[in-house]
Structure 1
Amino acid sequence: MHAQRPTDPMYALDSTSVSTARRPPRSRRRKITITIASVLTGALVLTGAGIALAYKNFNDNINRSDFSLPLVDDVLDDSGEQNILIMGMDTRRDQNGDPLPAEIYDAIRAGDETDGGYNANVLMLLHVPEDRSKAVGISIPRDDYVEIVGAPLGVEQSKIKEAYGLALQERMNDLYDSDTELSDAEIYQEARAAGRQTQIETVSHFLGDVRIDHFVEMTMGGFYHVAQAVQPLTVCLNQATVDTYSGADFAAGVQEIDAEQSMSFVRQRRDTSEDGPFLTDLDRSRRQQAFMISLVDKLNTKSTLTSPKTIASLMDATTTHVALDTGFDVLSFVKMAREVSKTGVEFVTLPILDFDIIDGSYVNTVDQDEIQRIVAAIFAGTYFDGGYEASAASDAVEDVEDAYADDEYTDDDDVDESSEAPAASDSTPQLNETGLPVYDSWDAPIRAGAIPCVN
């Protein structure tokens, strides 16, 4: 039986994403993805005979797919270290492609199921060394202009976030054009697996053909459910800020935020007040890092992990909104995460050179050789101790208005009126009056040990 091409808009990519007539939707809003350790730890608080059944049901219901890295030499080298790619998908549906409840759309202020898409808008490689010291989250700016491995749909270079959607569309096209007996749902899952494969390969190649052991993929709905399960969370901002697009309205200093405010916190990329801070898309990556630190801090408290309601919510978010690779051992990862939590996680945002316009799209230009040197230093454990300093963006982007306002990657029809790339900053944070570290730009590495104050 030949599968029929569906008419649901979820199967049509936005024309700004891929140059083809058949495209799955892409959002103009970014979402955040959270490390799965926070979600999975709840499974360990169950006791007695029920733990085996609860874990089996939980584990069996997680979406999984395989991936391979043919360009990586040491992919089978089991050295004890782990490299885990965290991907946050730009979709307003769950992992089965089903719409979310209406109340969730109202809460996240991000449109509905017709707005979502298949950009990997959050890309972070979590490097955990064998001795579990100096674990580092490496944030990859989503608009870095890179080689797309395999050139899906004939696209050889594009924004790194688009590798997923391009490969997904190509695989979906191939399946619908073939004499397949797969159902629409099976074709959808096959296409999602193809998207993951290409996204993971593209990231690995961009970073220097590095080994990636596992992936964690989460939707926007998953982030909201996690934030809702553990609310309130403590964050710190350097300045008061308001943004009418994301709904952000925050005071300066340390404060607690609920799930809806968390969505605004991690999505805000500009200030719409007259005297607020200057923000860009890169500052939003910094917000995401700060949120993850606050989340881990909250989950480390005994009361959070002993609440049956919290545990149930976290596990439900995982099974509904998370995908993992088939080799991902949940309990082993939880054990590793607990070891890492003793020293914390540091964060590095890979540098860009400048903003540019290529084929009508605003992109980040990068020095790939430098990026690969940085990643190699992180893996070797010398990045922080050796004082490696990246040459972050410094050149002005001439005559470019609304640097992040094109339809390809605005997330809420909003406009960032920046006209130059942010400059580099000192990597040693100052302390504010409360003793918390202050990070006043997007590029300084975040050290482990305290809740960071960010823009």
Structure 2
Amino acid sequence: MNGDDPQHNARTRRVPPPPGRPGEPPTPRPQRPEPHPPNPRRGEPQHRGAQRPEQPPIESTHKMHRDGPPSYAPPLAYSQVPPEPAGRRMPPSMRKPPSAYQPTQQPVPYHDPAQQPHAQRPRQYREPPPPPPAAPPSRRDRGAEPPRKRRKLHLFRWFLVLLVVLVVAAVAGVIKLDNSLNRIDALPNYADRVGDTPGTNWLLVGSDGRAGLTPEQEQELATGGEVGPERTDTIMLVHVPKSGPTTMVSLPRDSYVGIPGYGKDKLNAAFAIGGPQLLVQTVEMATDVRIDHYAQIGFGGFAGIVDTLGGIDVCVPKPIDDPLAGINLAAGCQRLDGPEALGFVRSRATALADIDRMNNQRLFMAALLKKATSGATLANPFNLWPLARDTAKSLKVDDGDHIWNLGQLGWALRGETVTTTVPIGGFDDTDSGNVVLWDKSKAGLFFDALAKDQPVPKDLLTR
């Protein structure tokens, strides 16, 4: 049988036949070396009582030289022996019992008896701590913005600061100017006064008052010295409608009208007799138009405003040579300083005398407002502030008037303005001297349109 055949067994176990020569006893086969002792750290079983078997003594080298090297290969380790093929099994008598050091196919975990396994504690779920509150951005973080954005933000902040400073300065300037106005009780309160009419009506008066002027200034302005009570040379009625152009009407100072309590006389006589209140009452009764605001300016203030503006440009229609007014002007457009402008609006040394003077006054007012409300004046605080300051000091207004009321008047006159005079019917010599007579029918229609806040008919306008 296959189990008794030594060649079959050697072929099956891959063990060569024992060496030797014929007739000699077989050389004992060296035993297979045992594997190294198990390593506890690798999980191999450890048998402390087992001892490694002794190795057979190695034969001397002279026998190996004499007999020659062995003709068989060293035995294979147990782990290197291939499994038996199917169908060929070694009989139980030929099987070698498993060695105590035979390695197992499956690793066995090693348990160190010195180490005590500690009980595993069940894990408990803990809520994660809340995130810390977000800290405000530090100055360093804020400065980490792009340079262009920081520059824009920086410029915007400076713009806001500058804007606030300008607003505060403007408010402070307006309050100071309003406190510098000279206020008088100009609007009368009498029985049967004209009722309130739509729109806003101003009475502008230019007086020959010389208060505050030195003798040198009176000589420069050709005022003629002290001539008695204060009189008025310029009287204008300005009607500012709710919509539409403003109407500025010149009232001749020699107009022959009825003065309440004094009979009929020249219009400027009312100012000389009773001051602003009697003048306002006389104008209201003659025109049936209620006066809402009053403003008065003297010689010195008039010339000072013109000089503050650096002069005004006026187109003189006819040459004027008036030693009493201190002027000698050629016809044509030219720039007038303060004294020349004052003489231009006062002079009557022309063919139509008082009529030409009213026309010159309207020319002057148009040129003055054009220069005062120009962009170069309003945009330059070094020009605007002295103008507003000198104007506020030079004016006399009613107790209820303020600097913003004057600003509204100037803005209304800056736009489209209709300049005209009251319709005149002729001249006459009376006990008061040479006077101007109004055309009663036309003058009634003229002032009725203003009282109703309606445009004045064109056929009633006089240039």
- Fold-level similarity (TM above 0.5): yes
Give 2:170's match in structure 1, choosing from 41, 51, 65: 51
Work out whether 1:165 is the aligned partner of 2:266. Answer: no
- C-alpha distance 340-110 of structure 1, shift in aligned 2 (>3 A): closer
Aligned-partner Cα distance in 1 for 2:364–2:447: 23
Aligned residue in 2 for 1:200 = 280
Give 2:209's match in structure 1, choosing from 91, 98, 108: 91
SS across alignment from 1:328: coil
Aligned-partner Cα distance in 2 for 1:313–1:107: 22
Give 2:192's match in structure 1, choosing from 71, 77, 93: 71
Aligned residue in 1 for 2:349 = 270
Counterpart contact for 1:225–1:313, Cα < 8 Å:
no
Q: CA deviation at 1:147?
A: 0.9
Letter in 1 for 2:232: A
Aligned residue in 2 for 1:115 = 227
Aligned-partner Cα distance in 2 for 1:57–1:260: 28
Aligned residue in 1 for 2:239 = 127
Letter in 2 for 1:220: F
Give 1:223's match in structure 2, choosing from 302, 308, 320: 302
- C-alpha distance 337-241 of structure 1, shift in aligned 2 (>3 A): closer
Q: CA deviation at 1:220?
A: 1.5
Counterpart contact for 1:241–1:251, Cα < 8 Å:
yes
Aligned-partner Cα distance in 2 for 1:123–1:360: 19
For residues 42-67 of structure 1, the C-alpha deviation after alignment (integer angstroms, 9 at most, x for no partner) is xxxx9342333332222122122342
Counterpart contact for 1:90–1:117, Cα < 8 Å:
no
Counterpart contact for 2:257–2:267, Cα < 8 Å:
yes
SS across alignment from 2:458: coil
Letter in 1 for 2:404: L
Counterpart contact for 1:71–1:205, Cα < 8 Å:
no
SS across alignment from 1:353: strand
Aligned residue in 1 for 2:155 = none
Matches within 5 A, 1:273-292: 278-292=351-365
- C-alpha distance 61-232 of structure 1, shift in aligned 2 (>3 A): closer
Work out whether 1:376 is the aligned partner of 2:448. Answer: yes
Q: Number of aligned pairs?
A: 297
Give 1:322's match in structure 2, choosing from 395, 403, 407: 395
Aligned-partner Cα distance in 2 for 1:381–1:61: 33
Aligned-partner Cα distance in 2 for 1:282–1:59: 35
**Paired-residue identity, %:** 26
Matches within 5 A, 1:131-170: 131=243, 133-149=244-260, 151=261, 155-167=262-274
- C-alpha distance 225-117 of structure 1, shift in aligned 2 (>3 A): farther
Structure possessing the higher radius of gyration over alpha carbons: 2
- C-alpha distance 53-300 of structure 1, shift in aligned 2 (>3 A): closer
Aligned residue in 1 for 2:126 = none
Aligned residue in 1 for 2:375 = 302
SS across alignment from 1:356: strand
- C-alpha distance 311-387 of structure 1, shift in aligned 2 (>3 A): closer
Counterpart contact for 1:88–1:122, Cα < 8 Å:
yes
Q: CA deviation at 1:290?
A: 0.2
Counterpart contact for 1:218–1:321, Cα < 8 Å:
yes
Q: CA deviation at 1:249?
A: 2.1
SS across alignment from 1:373: helix
SS across alignment from 1:143: coil
Give 2:418's match in structure 1, choosing from 339, 346, 356: 346
Q: CA deviation at 1:376?
A: 1.5
For residues 236-291 of structure 1, the C-alpha deviation after alignment (integer angstroms, 9 at most, x for no partner) is 123334233323322222222222221222122115xxxxxx24121011100000
Letter in 2 for 1:82: T
Aligned-partner Cα distance in 2 for 1:266–1:336: 21
Q: CA deviation at 1:130?
A: 0.5
Aligned-partner Cα distance in 1 for 2:393–2:413: 26
For residues 375-408 of structure 1, the C-alpha deviation after alignment (integer angstroms, 9 at most, x for no partner) is 1234556655x4333xxxxxxxxxxxxxxxxxxx
Aligned-partner Cα distance in 1 for 2:271–2:333: 37
Give 1:237's match in structure 2, choosing from 311, 316, 340: 316
Aligned-partner Cα distance in 1 for 2:397–2:177: 13
Q: CA deviation at 1:83?
A: 0.5
SS across alignment from 2:235: strand
Instruction: Give the stretch that moved more between structures: 298-307 or 257-266.
Output: 298-307
TM-score (norm 2): 0.59
Counterpart contact for 1:65–1:326, Cα < 8 Å:
yes
Q: CA deviation at 1:372?
A: 2.4
Aligned-partner Cα distance in 1 for 2:250–2:382: 31
Aligned-partner Cα distance in 2 for 1:360–1:381: 34
SS across alignment from 2:290: coil
Aligned residue in 1 for 2:459 = 388
Counterpart contact for 2:240–2:412, Cα < 8 Å:
no
Counterpart contact for 1:233–1:295, Cα < 8 Å:
yes
Aligned-partner Cα distance in 2 for 1:323–1:239: 33
Structure 1: 5+ residue stretches without partners? 1-45, 94-98, 168-194, 272-277, 390-426, 428-443, 446-455
Aligned-partner Cα distance in 1 for 2:304–2:216: 12
Structure 2: 5+ residue stretches without partners? 1-164
Aligned-residue Cα RMSD (Å) equals 2.5
For residues 122-169 of structure 1, the C-alpha deviation after alignment (integer angstroms, 9 at most, x for no partner) is 1111001001x22111111101111112x1xxx2221111112212xx
